[in-house]
Amino acid sequence: MKNISIYTGMMTLLIALSGNSASADDGCNLSLGAADNMQFSTKAMSAPASCENITVTLNHTGQFPKNAMGHNWVLTTEADFKGVAMDGGSAGLKNNYVKEGDSRVIAATAIIGGGESTSVTFSTGGMTAGTAYTFFCSFPGHWGIMKGTFTLS
């Protein structure tokens, strides 16, 4: 009997680790879309403050390649947003339009093109509940429009 209960426990753990949609939804996995119209599908994102880690998945639902209409998802404080976006433009596509080693960046995905998806998992340690952080796309010319708020609540 003991072995059976260990086996059951292992299977539960494996299912939890697999992260598929059948597992319990704790609100710590978020997703959003972005298309060729240079818009994110949402302007406001939030997750429970109880999430130690958050995974954000970005789905590019457009057609254009990443060098023409690339999108990423970058998270910073509201105060750091513009500086990170400007420096990201200089960093170029090879760096996913994020300055290498930029400590102001809380999280950032790769730049993707139409039909692609990408995700990033980041720790909420150091973030403050109730504060409106800024998420944006750092592709040059996009961040003026492609931005929104991200809040732990």
SS3 4: helix
CB nearer to Cu ion: pick between 28 and 32: 32
Q: How far is the CB of 102 from Cu ion (least distance, A)?
A: 18
* E-state strands within 53-152: 53-60, 74-76, 107-108, 117-123, 133-136, 147-152
State the Cα angle at 117 between 151 and 76, rounded to 5°.
30
Cβ proximity to Cu ion: between 127 and 139 the closer is 139
- Taking the complex as a whole, the smallest distance from the CB of residue 36 to Cu ion amounts, in Å, to 10
CA distance 19 to 12: 12
Residues that bind Cu ion (rule: CB under 5 A) add up to a total of 5
Over the window 66 to 85, marking each residue x when it contacts Cu ion by CB under 5 A and - when it does not, the resulting string is -----x--------------
Residues 65 and 140: their CA atoms lie apart, in Å, by 15
| Closer of 142 and 147 to Cu ion (Cβ) | 142
Cα-based angle 55, 120, 88 (whole degrees, multiple of 5): 135
Residues 123-152 that bind Cu ion (CB under 5 A): 137, 139, 142, 146
- 30-59 mask for Cu ion (x: CB under 5 A)? ------------------------------
